Each structure stands twice: as C-alpha cells, then as structure tokens.
Amino acid sequence: MELSNKTIIVTGASSGIGAAAAALFAAEGANVVLGARRASELETLVARIGQSGGRAVCLPGDVRDKGYAGALVDLALKEFGGLDGAFNNAGIVGELRPVAEMTFEAWNEVISVNLTSAFLAAKAQIPMMKQRGGSIVFTSSFVGFSNGGMPGMGAYAASKAGMVGLMQSLASDHAAEGIRVNAVLPGGTITPAGGEGNPSVLEFIANLHPMKRMAAADEIAQAALFLLSDRSSFMTGSPMLVDGGISVRLA
C-alpha cells in the first residue's frame, strides 16, 4: 500500500486519467476526495471505490470557480482530518486551431481551466500542507514540453508549459516546508479528451509516438501515484515525462 493513511484530492476524477487515478490511489490505501463537474459520474465512482473497500467522497464543481479548490480542501479536513496530497488533473484541450484564427474567448477558456485552476488549487492546498508536509502533482502534457507534431495547440501548449513554470516556482518556494510539487507530462492517452471512440484520431496520435501506441489512463495514474507516494521523497520541481517517447521523436 503506497498511500496508506494519506488523504488526497483528485480533480478531473469523473473520467479518463483522473478516474483511473482515483481508483488506483484508493486501492493503495488513500482516502480520496474527488472533484469534477459531473455529479453522477463522481457518485458512481465513489460507490465503486466503497464497494472495493476504499474510502472516497466527492464534491462536484468547476475548477474555474474561485471557491472550489478551497471547498475540496475543506471537505478533506471534514471527512478525513487533513490533506497530504493533491492530483490537480482537470483539464481541457479546447479548440484546436492556429493562434491567428483563435478567438480571445477560446484562448481564455483553456488558460482558465488548465492554468488558472492550477494557481487556485495551489493557493488553497499549500496552507493546509504547511502543517505536516505534502505532495502536489499537476497534470501538464508532453505538449507543454515539446509540441511533438500536434497541430493547433497554441493555447493548450501555453497553458501546460505555464503549469510547469508554476510548479517549479511552488517547488522552490515550499521545499523547506516539506511540500513537494511535481508534474506528470503524459503523452497521448486513451480517454474521452484523447480521442477515445474515434479510431482515426487514435491511430494518428498513436503513430506520433515511437512506441506506436497511446497510453492507457492507468499508466499515467501509476506515475502520479509514484509522485504522491513517499517513494519519490527526493523529487520536487520535476516535470516527469510519461510520453511513450513522443518528445524525443525528432531528437
């Protein structure tokens, strides 16, 4: 059990990587506090985790709302008495189009859901973790490191690269307080946002990877588990690529 007695917030837990992570963390002994917009998906997952002997609660909400990250922290305190980790994973790809054709609104939506939400999450979680230390993990993307041949990714790439900068600043500011902050940078992953159900998109993305396949959501969840667990105790400020080699494709 890698996460025994740890209480961990997971956002974007209603599907894809977040749902896989929530189930994995609970199976590894964590109390999980689940966030995303869709209540019914979250409640189904909470029930499934409970049936497997795990402990989970949820609070539906939008990561763009200023109070939502704090409400998840409050729920962790109320239900489980503290907070040890957070997997700030909710995100969207947004409109895929060249920047010159992108509307201001489309740009802002991606930046607020992906990057401003990371700021809001850290702002709510850090004060709580000052008491007994903790580990924060953000879901960035290989696109925030090296475009890898993906078209129309201006806003998404900026949001995910910005998240790495934010993560490294947080890591530097809070290392001495026992708070570690890292990011996982997934390659193409089979999820609703990753083209699930669309064979031609899946094939295009798979072929960009040297491994000639996409990740399963659980393969990304395993990396987040490592960063949240004490096995990564000397890691902070690390943008951890879990990308099937896509970022070295042209190297």
Active site residues: 156
According to DSSP, the residues that pair with 173 across neighbouring strands are none
Instruction: Write down the least CB distance from residue 179 to ligand NAD, Å.
Output: 21
CB of 155 to ligand NAD, least distance (A): 12
Is 244 a binding residue for ligand NAD by CB under 6 A? The answer is no
Determine the interface stretch with ligand NAD among 25-33, 43-51, 83-91, 147-155 (rule: CB under 6 A): 83-91
> Given the complex with ligand NAD, which of 61 and 131 has the nearer CB atom?
61
What's the N-to-C CA distance of the chain in angstroms? Answer: 38
Check residue 192 for interaction with ligand NAD (CB under 6 A): yes
Q: Binding to ligand NAD by residue 90, rule CB under 6 A? A: yes
Q: Which of 35, 240, 5, 2 is nearest to 132 (CA)?
A: 5
Shorter beta-carbon distance to ligand NAD: residue 127 or 192:
192
One-character DSSP codes across 188-244: SEESTTTTTT-HHHHHHHHHHSTTSSPEEHHHHHHHHHHHHSGGGTT--S-EEEEST
Residue 224 binds ligand NAD, judged by CB under 6 A: no
Cα(248)–Cα(232) distance, integer angstroms:
24
Taking the least distance from each CB to ligand NAD, the nearer of 21 and 179 is 21
**Among 22, 36, 136, 179, which residue sits at the site for ligand NAD (rule: CB under 6 A)?**
36
Which residue of 7, 135, 141, 182 would you call a contact of ligand NAD, by CB under 6 A? 141
**Contact assessment for residue 63 and residue 47, using Cβ atoms and an 8 Å cutoff:** no
Q: Which residues, including other chains, have CB under 8 Å from residue 42's CB and lie 6 or more apart?
A: 13, 14, 34, 35, 36, 58, 60
**How far is Cα 18 from Cα 249, in angstroms, rounded to an integer?**
27
- The contact set with ligand NAD (CB under 6 A) reads 12-18, 36-38, 62-64, 89-92, 113, 139, 141, 186, 188-189, 191-194
